Amino acid sequence: MREGYTFDDVLLEPQRSGVFSRKDVTTRSQFSRGIFLNAPVVSANMDTVTEYRMARFMAESGGIGIIHRFLPIAAQAEEVRKVKRAENVVIDDPYTVNADQNVADAERIMKEKGVSGLPVLDSDGRIAGIITRRDILFAENLGKKVSEAMTKKVITAKAGTTLSEAKKILFRHRIEKLPLADKSGKLRGLITLKDILKRANGESASKDKKGRLLVGAALGVKDDTLERAKALLDAGADVLVVDIAHGHNERALNAIKLLKKKFKGAEIVGGNVATPKGAIDLIKAGADAVKIGIGPGAACTTRIVTGVGVPQLTAVLECARAAEKYKIPAIADGGIRNSGDFSKALAAGASTVMIGSLFAGTDESPGDYVLEDGVGYKFYRGMASRDAADDKTKIDGGHDGAYRAPEGKSGKVSYRGRAKNVLDDLIAGLRSSMSYLGAKNLREFQKNARFIKITQAALRESNIHDMK
């Protein structure tokens, strides 16, 4: 019988280093075949971890969040849409007003939608002008037609104009809004200076080609898989995560093949597996990244209930090595309790790390903060817990009546304040770890990593001791 190790069984040996954690290190990494992140962190697709707020925070911070699938299709797609709309540099379907509406209408639309100006369209849908708060201020009579109050000489650019071209035009003409038009003068989008400046300040955020935040969404292997996938992709999801406890299962492999065939070009993550064979079969089915982890999660009882699993460090080491041969990145999923575990998972070969319980305790996760005896908590539950299964039945309707042993628990986790606190600790710990190993980037980190197996006595020594 061979041995398997997890995070507490090992330490990383220090190496000669001329690297300083603050200035020399980059944590940029590959999440899936076509998606790269500045922070190798993924928030878990669990209903006590990732909905719109967490996903938005993760992308703004350079990582990515995966919206959980324990929602009706339309509701899950709406969570995706909210993230894609959050920081939208090219707005595909801007709010507009018609030239023959009143100035009062324009004012109302701007107020309702929280925007400072509207492209004005003529009766054929062509751009006739633009109306801003300033124009309204000087209109005097709100009963006037928009066409009388708007700025008629409007600068437009071709649909498909890049952000850097748009920025030049905005600066050259000292304007704040740039409508995009097709050949016939019809409105095809809008670029605003405000969004371009925001983007320039937040270089590290995870963005798509249009400047919108990245977001992923999970789906299971069910009758509605294709319908759910289509709704999520239509809403703008950048990646779909096939979320199955046993990803090395014929149904999971077939689902990946089918999704890759039906939705050409869509990024699909497969999981979860814990053996090299599992990782390779997912890749052969078409997976653009493989998710590793059977039973390491804080709320998981799979190993206790079924006796099945692979200690997470060994699983990551072996699966990531197998996936690397196919140039497919591995996501280490579950069991991370601190920045040391996080660093070990990446050093072992993972390109990114998925995290549940640490983020469940933050303001950005769904659910309320509870105060008990002066201590703050938030609710956290395994998605295979009895609790979650009962709620899922309410959403899906039917249940086949067969008894299934729950493979997760529900409970509380410590309240940790803003998610930024957790993320900053993880990244700072990782940077420091990289500097101990003389690594400027994650590739070098993995190359330089030498694990040493430790004893229980060494683990006691590692933790704080002999002090109160």
- The pairing of strands 64-67 and 41-43 is parallel
* Burial (CB count within 10 angstroms: exposed 0-12, middle 13-18, buried 19+), residue 391: middle
> Least distance to ligand XMP from the beta carbon of 318, Å?
18
Considering the rule CB under 6 A, would residue 422 count as an interface residue with ligand XMP? no
Considering the rule CB under 6 A, would residue 356 count as an interface residue with ligand XMP? yes
Considering the rule CB under 6 A, would residue 99 count as an interface residue with ligand XMP? no
> Least distance to ligand XMP from the beta carbon of 66, Å?
9
User: Phi/psi of residue 66, each to 5°?
Assistant: -115, 115
Site for ligand XMP in 37-56 (CB under 6 A): 44, 46
Q: Which of 99, 121, 150, 384 binds ligand XMP (CB under 6 A)?
A: 384
Tell me the window of 280-288, 299-307, 318-326, 427-435 that interacts with ligand XMP (CB under 6 A). Answer: 299-307
> Least distance to ligand XMP from the beta carbon of 101, Å?
49
The nearer residue to ligand XMP, 297 or 311, going by C-beta atoms, is 297
Tokens at 268, concatenated? 């699909």
Residues labelled catalytic: 300
Tell me the window of 150-158, 192-200, 211-219, 376-384 that interacts with ligand XMP (CB under 6 A). Answer: 376-384
Site for ligand XMP in 227-266 (CB under 6 A): none
Angle between helices 52-60 and 73-86 (to 10 degrees): 30
Q: Which residues does 323 contact at the CB level (< 8 Å), separation at least 6?
A: 279, 280, 283, 290, 329, 330
Q: Is 295 annotated as a binding residue?
A: yes
Tokens at 10, concatenated? 């090992």
Q: Which of 302, 339, 365, 435 binds ligand XMP (CB under 6 A)?
A: 302
Tell me the window of 92-100, 215-223, 290-298, 449-457 that interacts with ligand XMP (CB under 6 A). Answer: 290-298
Q: Which residues does 62 contact at the CB level (< 8 Å), separation at least 6?
A: 27, 37, 38, 39, 41, 204, 205, 206
Q: What is the residue type of 201?
A: N
Considering the rule CB under 6 A, would residue 220 count as an interface residue with ligand XMP? no
Q: Is 243 annotated as a binding residue?
A: yes
Q: Is 356 annotated as a binding residue?
A: yes
Q: What is the residue type of 428?
A: A
Site for ligand XMP in 390-419 (CB under 6 A): 407-408
- Sheet harboring 410-414: ordered strands across? 369-372, 375-381, 410-414
Considering the rule CB under 6 A, would residue 333 count as an interface residue with ligand XMP? yes
Cβ neighbours, 10 Å, residue 206: 23
Q: Which residues does 8 contact at the CB level (< 8 Å), separation at least 6?
A: 459
Q: Is 300 annotated as a binding residue?
A: yes
User: Phi/psi of residue 167, each to 5°?
Assistant: -60, -45
Task: Find out whether 240 and 231 touch, Cβ atoms under 8 Å.
Answer: no
Q: What is the residue type of 383?
A: M
Q: Is 227 annotated as a binding residue?
A: no
Site for ligand XMP in 138-177 (CB under 6 A): none
The nearer residue to ligand XMP, 139 or 299, going by C-beta atoms, is 299
Q: Is 450 annotated as a binding residue?
A: no
For tokens 């299964």, the residue is: 389
Tokens at 47, concatenated? 């209903």
User: Phi/psi of residue 134, each to 5°?
Assistant: -60, -45
Whose CA is closest to 303, among 410, 414, 409, 411? 409
Considering the rule CB under 6 A, would residue 446 count as an interface residue with ligand XMP? no
Q: Which of 59, 310, 355, 426 binds ligand XMP (CB under 6 A)?
A: 355
Residues binding ligand XMP: number (CB under 6 A): 24
> Least distance to ligand XMP from the beta carbon of 359, Å?
8
Considering the rule CB under 6 A, would residue 35 count as an interface residue with ligand XMP? no
The nearer residue to ligand XMP, 204 or 306, going by C-beta atoms, is 306
Q: Which of 231, 354, 427, 437 binds ligand XMP (CB under 6 A)?
A: 354
Considering the rule CB under 6 A, would residue 216 count as an interface residue with ligand XMP? no
Q: Is 67 annotated as a binding residue?
A: no
Q: Which residues does 110 contact at the CB level (< 8 Å), separation at least 6?
A: 116, 117, 118, 133, 136
**What spatial distance separates the first Cα and last Cα of the chain, rounded to whole Å?**
41
Whose CA is closest to 76, among 292, 209, 213, 227? 227
Q: Is 333 annotated as a binding residue?
A: yes
Residue closest to ligand XMP when measured from CB atoms: 408
Tokens at 45, concatenated? 């697709």
Q: Is 340 annotated as a binding residue?
A: no
Q: Is 319 annotated as a binding residue?
A: no
Considering the rule CB under 6 A, would residue 382 count as an interface residue with ligand XMP? yes
- The distance between the two most distant Cα atoms of the chain, rounded to a whole number of Å, is 85
Binding positions for IMP:
333-335, 356-357, 380-384, 407
Binding positions for NAD(+):
243-245, 293-295
Residues of the shown chain interacting with ligand XMP in the complex, contacts defined by CB under 6 A: 44, 46, 272, 293, 295, 297-300, 302, 333-336, 354-357, 382-385, 407-408
Binding positions:
243-245, 293-295, 297, 300, 333-335, 356-357, 380-384, 407, 461-462
